[in-house]
Chains A and B, each alone.
Chain A
């Protein structure tokens, strides 16, 4: 992906690791995330960055596709991860506040249909166990609710991905979901909290 934005995506770091193959992508996730986090800490200190955006969403929800479509032409730093653990989110928020005078902005991408996201997950080259799908889709929602409740000054923008046919071609589209206030946002986030078992039921054939 090309543009003005600096993008840190743990998936990109996997390919730099010795022995990486898409079929064994899961084994390389933790070392790749550590490298990505280290580069993120360095990139935060760039003086000409206007904003720092943390992307949030389960695997195959359309995050990278959203970034490539709407954010590349901005002078921003983007961490394109799932934000599925509170510890990871907290470390990033603390680093941004420590090294910059900016508040992070969170852009979350949720699929309108988890079954479709599961299909994309199963069909792509990078192979992960299905546990990774359930964990990230459950965890990212929990983390985002926690951020909304603990850090009301952090701006959170919600986007919904949908997969549909238009002009005879299937593609991915995005809607922005807006709320009148933080209470509305928190209510929405409460309504989309799912355990891993609930995610499994939603994607079951």
Chain B
């Protein structure tokens, strides 16, 4: 198996620029995610959880206070799937 890098043809490709913008937009989102011992509030771009909680309502309440305006608050289910998304 050989991987060969393809040279970019159009450095200002609008489709690729839109993709980059979507990634950057989503990096600002705040997630409430399940952990082994409870729930965590995490910024999508952060390497670690900003805070851990025993119960989900407390995690959601805290997430609402730290979510950035114009971003999304995304609450997950215990199985990892998304339960709800809300524009902040």
B65 on interface, CB distance cutoff 8 Å: no
B contacts with A: majority SS: mixed
Interface size on A, residues (CB 8 A): 39
Contact with A along B1-45 (1 / 0, CB 8 A): 111111011110111101111111111010101000000001010
Contact A65 B25 (CB under 8 A): no
Contact A1 B15 (CB under 8 A): yes
**Residues in A whose Cβ lies below 8 Å from that of B8:** 69, 171, 173
**What is the distance, in angstroms, from B77's C-beta to the closest C-beta of chain A?**
10
**What is the distance, in angstroms, from A180's C-beta to the closest C-beta of chain B?**
8
- Chain B interface residue bracket vs A: 35 or more
What is the count of residue pairs linking A and B with beta-carbon distances less than 8 angstroms?
Answer: 104
Contact A188 B44 (CB under 8 A): no
The stretch of A35-43, A84-92, A119-127 in contact with B is A119-127
Contact A65 B80 (CB under 8 A): no
**What is the distance, in angstroms, from A137's C-beta to the closest C-beta of chain B?**
14
Contact B74 A175 (CB under 8 A): no
Contact B19 A120 (CB under 8 A): yes
A177 on interface, CB distance cutoff 8 Å: yes
Partner of A65, one of B5, B15, B27: B15
Contact A172 B4 (CB under 8 A): no
Contact A172 B9 (CB under 8 A): no
B58 on interface, CB distance cutoff 8 Å: no
Partner of A172, one of B16, B27, B42: B16
CB contacts under 8 Å to B, within A110-148, are: 116, 119-125, 129-131, 134
Contact A68 B16 (CB under 8 A): yes
**Residues in B whose Cβ lies below 8 Å from that of A65:** 13, 15-16, 19
**What is the distance, in angstroms, from A45's C-beta to the closest C-beta of chain B?**
28
**3 residue pairs, one from A and one from B, having the closest CB atoms:** A123-B26, A123-B22, A123-B25
Interface residues of A (CB under 8 A from B): 1, 60, 62, 64-65, 68-70, 116, 119-125, 129-131, 134, 159-160, 163, 170-179, 184, 188, 200-201, 204-205
Interface residues of B (CB under 8 A from A): 1-6, 8-11, 13-16, 18-27, 29, 31, 33, 42, 44, 72, 74, 79-82
Chosen A-B contacts, 29 in total, with CB atoms closer than 8 Å, are A1-B15, A65-B16, A65-B19, A69-B9, A69-B16, A116-B23, A119-B23, A119-B26, A119-B44, A120-B19, A120-B22, A121-B22, A123-B21, A123-B24, A123-B29, A130-B82, A131-B81, A134-B81, A160-B3, A171-B16, A172-B16, A172-B20, A173-B5, A176-B6, A177-B3, A178-B2, A184-B1, A200-B81, A204-B80
